[in-house]
Amino acid sequence: MIRVTVNGAGGKMGREVVKAVHNDSELALVGGIDPTKSGQDIGTVAGIEPLGITMNSSVDEILGDTKPDVIVDFTSPAVIYENAKKMLAAGIHVVIGTTGLTAVQRDELDVIGRKHNANCLVAPNFSLGAVMMMKVSSELAPYFPNVEIIELHHNHKYDAPSGTAILTAKLINDAKLAAQVTADEDLTRESLPGARGAKVDDVTIHSVRLPGYVAHQQVLFGGYDETLTVRHDSLSRLSFMPGVVLACKKIASVPGLTYGLEHYL
């Protein structure tokens, strides 16, 4: 059995991960961390029966002799980097769904993890459909170099743009660079600052935050008198669970830090 602790276990994603890990026959749920739910039973916090596991308040409390094999982290961009350094330095494999890590930070985590034989997966999106949306978008980019992303999320999201939009833009930019194509020069003027969104290299991203949405993204390609749109919708947070469970099972066999769930499929 693979022993798994959930960091951010009281959050929207954390509660789903607790249930998914608890329900999987190859995974053993051994702990949960969440500062404001410390002392409570992890099952009760997740909305199921009590599981006899008391929540801790910080990662520092679980790095001792009874440390898990894997920590799944869905916390906040504000804390992920410092926590990831601690978890990897303790020799624990870390599955990171939390957004906000920069490329430089990922490189630093790779070094720390390799030094302590701890592997790391940073996946901005664990849903299979979102991974396929990114793959298809990068394949289309050489043929349609004019492209903009619209990502739509619930209004409690910490960050903008989303981690998924940033990775999608990176994959599109990489594909365009390899094919030596660029977007037509953008002559549009902004009469209101921000109206044209944010740029990640050659790709524009627009972020929508509204109650009612879960996680959605459209990648819009413009061509010669035609357009092509790739759209993905996560209808609930269950959509991320097969990817998280797969990652917990596979992480011990993939050395170093991996960026993107596609490398685990």
Ligand X SMILES: O=C(O)C1=N[C@H](C(=O)O)C[C@H](O)C1
Ligand Y SMILES: NC(=O)C1=CN([C@@H]2O[C@H](COP(=O)(O)OP(=O)(O)OC[C@H]3O[C@@H](n4cnc5c(N)ncnc54)[C@H](OP(=O)(O)O)[C@@H]3O)[C@@H](O)[C@H]2O)C=CC1
In angstroms, give the least distance from the CB of 228 to ligand X: 22
- Tell me: does residue 99 bind ligand X (CB under 6 A): yes
Q: Measured between alpha carbons, how far is 3 from 228 in angstroms, rounded to an integer?
A: 44
69 binds ligand Y (CB under 6 A): no
**Does residue 108 sit in helix, strand or coil?**
helix
Q: Which residue is nearest to ligand Y (CB)?
A: 11
- Interface with ligand Y, residue 256, by CB under 6 A: no
**Chain centre to alpha carbon of residue 41:** 26
Residue from 5, 6, 10, 84 that binds ligand Y (CB under 6 A)? 10
Applying CB under 6 A, the span of 33-41, 109-117, 144-152, 218-226 interacting with ligand Y comes to 33-41
Q: Please answer whether residues 249 and 5 qualify as being in contact, where contact means their C-beta atoms are separated by less than 8 angstroms.
A: no
* Residue 188 assigned to a binding site: no
Residue number, 56 or 98, with CB nearest to ligand X: 98
| 202 interacts with, out of ligand Y, ligand X, none, CB within 5 to 8 A per kind | none
Judged by beta carbon distances under 5 to 8 A according to partner kind, the member of ligand X, ligand Y, none in contact with residue 7 is ligand Y
Is 157 catalytic? The answer is: yes
Of 22, 93, 153, 170, which one is the catalytic site residue? Answer: 153
Residues between 143 and 202 with contacts to ligand Y, criterion CB under 6 A: 158, 163
Q: Is 156 a catalytic residue?
A: no
- Which residue from 18, 20, 42, 75 is in contact with ligand Y, where contact means CB under 6 A? 75
Alpha carbon distance 59, 91 (integer Å): 13
Q: Cα dist. 46→41, 71, 97 in Å?
A: 9, 17, 18
Is residue 264 near ligand Y by the rule CB under 6 A? no
Structure tokens at 143: 């043929």
Write down the least CB distance from residue 158 to ligand Y, Å: 6
Neighbours of 205 (CB within 10 A): 20
Confirm whether residue 10 is marked as ligand binding: yes
- Count CA within 13 A, CB hemisphere, residue 62: 27
Beta carbon of residue 62, minimum distance to ligand Y (angstroms, whole number): 11
> With binding defined as CB under 6 A, does residue 162 bind ligand X?
yes
User: Measured from the CB atom, is 5 or 125 closer to ligand X?
Assistant: 125
Report helix angle 80-89 to 103-115, nearest 10: 20
Half-sphere exposure in the Cβ direction for 158 (13 Å, CA): 13
Q: How far is CA 111 from each of CA 51, 88, 120, rounded to the nearest angstrom? A: 36, 10, 11
Q: Name every residue whose Cβ is closer than 8 Å to that of residue 215 and which is 6 or more positions away in sequence.
A: 125, 127, 130, 152, 153, 154, 162, 164, 233, 234, 239
Cα angle for residues 135, 172, 143 (degrees, 5° grid):
90
Which of 85, 157, 249, 250 is the catalytic position?
A: 157
215 binds ligand X (CB under 6 A): yes
Coil, helix or strand for 178? helix
Site for ligand Y, rule CB under 6 A: 7-8, 10-14, 33-36, 58, 74-77, 79, 97-99, 123-126, 158, 163, 240
Catalytic positions, please?
A: 153, 157
